[in-house]
Amino acid sequence: MWQAQHVQALLTRGGAHVTLLGMTTQGDQILDRSLSKVGGKGLFVKELELALESGAADMAVHSLKDVPMDLPPGFSLACVMEREDPRDAWVSPQWASLDDLPPGSVVGTSSLRRTVLLQALRPDLVIEPLRGNLDTRLKKLDAGQYAGIVLAAAGLKRLGLQERIRRVFEVSEMLPAPGQGALGLEVMHHRGDIVEALSALSHQSTWLAVSAERAVSRAMGGSCSMPLAAHATQQGEYLTLHAAWGDLSQPGRILRAHTTQEVADIESAQQVGTWVAQQLIDQGAQHQPLA
């Protein structure tokens, strides 16, 4: 809802009249199982897409990391906004950093990506599932169920909870998920009027970066059931992309690939992502190409 209100405020500032249609998705409702076991990222967008299709809504605001790599026919990603901090955050009432934890401490996350990266950093820790909205996760932490939890820094900052962050993981330690920290606005493909209205909110360098990241995921068949990370940055005409894949059967085994290439548009950014994904595959990363 914060994300929708943020977009509303920006559009209103530009002279548009915007009303909010609040919705709860299956991803918000199913909290007793990991996303990889109940349908993956699509659980956060299906109801919103039905609202677009029926005409009940003109656009949908998504956390881009929750949006499947390929949208259904008739739907388009109309805008990618400037990215907030893409990194992961360490949150703990007692321990200032992951390094401070005693062996055997329980750390909460339901992200397979975070799980394999945490195991590589601290193989002596116990990683336990953690689902629910931000308030729910923090309450479970404060109730003593976990020594610490790992959350997206962007979500904490957007909700004014940055004081809960004890430490932000550098991308060299904990490579983010594709699209993490970015907002994507989805519309029906034929709504050129909405696309034009959103053009002022679009941030080209973020769009290029997340296009490369999402292309890695698309080439790998990435979903919530794949421990995959990808993060890109742009400097001038050059885009640098890092990706990592974790082996669930061999904790601590992380395959990595990176490149810096010149990009001019979304298509060339996607080609960079596809190239990096192939480097992971060539090293032995398991992939499930999307149909």
pTM: 0.89
What six digits make up the tokens of 39? 């349908």
Q: Please give the helix or strand (H or E) that residue 208 lies within, else none.
A: helix 204-220
Q: Same domain, yes or no, for 40 and 3?
A: yes
CA 139 – CA 65 distance, rounded (Å): 24
What six digits make up the tokens of 206? 């973020």
Q: pLDDT by residue (tens digit) across 98-156?
A: 999 999 999 999 899 999 999 999 999 999 999 888 999 999 999 999 999 999 999 99
Q: pLDDT by residue (tens digit) across 32-69?
A: 444 444 444 455 688 899 999 999 999 999 999 888 88
Q: pLDDT by residue (tens digit) across 261-270?
A: 999 999 999 9
Angle between helix axes 204-220 and 266-283 (nearest 10 degrees) is 40
CA 150 – CA 225 distance, rounded (Å): 18
Q: Same domain, yes or no, for 227 and 276?
A: yes
CA 37 – CA 34 distance, rounded (Å): 6
Question: What pLDDT shows up at residue 115?
Answer: 95
Higher-pLDDT residue of 31, 239: 239
Q: Same domain, yes or no, for 121 and 186?
A: no
What six digits make up the tokens of 283? 């090293």
Q: Which residues are catalytic?
A: 66
Q: Same domain, yes or no, for 27 and 37?
A: yes
Question: What pLDDT shows up at residue 33?
Answer: 46
CA 241 – CA 228 distance, rounded (Å): 13
Q: b/e for 56-65, b at 16 or more Cβ within 10 A? A: ebbbbbbbbb
Q: Same domain, yes or no, for 46 and 154?
A: no
Question: What pLDDT shows up at residue 44?
Answer: 62
260 assigned to some structural domain: yes
Which amino acid makes up residue 124? D
Q: Same domain, yes or no, for 54 and 195?
A: yes
Q: Same domain, yes or no, for 71 and 55?
A: yes
Percent of the chain whose predicted confidence (pLDDT) is above 90: 79
Sign of CA dihedral 86, 92, 96, 102: negative
Range of the domain at 209: 203-282
What six digits make up the tokens of 25? 């998705």
- Does residue 164 have a pLDDT over 70? yes
**Domain containing residue 221: CATH number:** 3.30.160.40
Q: Same domain, yes or no, for 102 and 243?
A: no
54 assigned to some structural domain: yes
Which amino acid makes up residue 39? G
Q: pLDDT by residue (tens digit) across 170-227?
A: 999 999 999 999 999 999 999 999 999 999 999 999 999 999 999 999 999 866 678 9
Question: What pLDDT shows up at residue 43?
Answer: 59
CA 64 – CA 239 distance, rounded (Å): 19
Q: What is the mean pLDDT of residues 159-166?
A: 96
Question: What pLDDT shows up at residue 248?
Answer: 83
On whether the CB atoms of residues 228 and 248 are closer than 8 A, the answer is no
CA 26 – CA 19 distance, rounded (Å): 23
CA 204 – CA 218 distance, rounded (Å): 20
174 assigned to some structural domain: no
Domain count for the chain, please give it: 3
**Domain containing residue 109: CATH number:** 3.40.190.10
Closest CA to 198 of 48, 82, 79, 83: 79
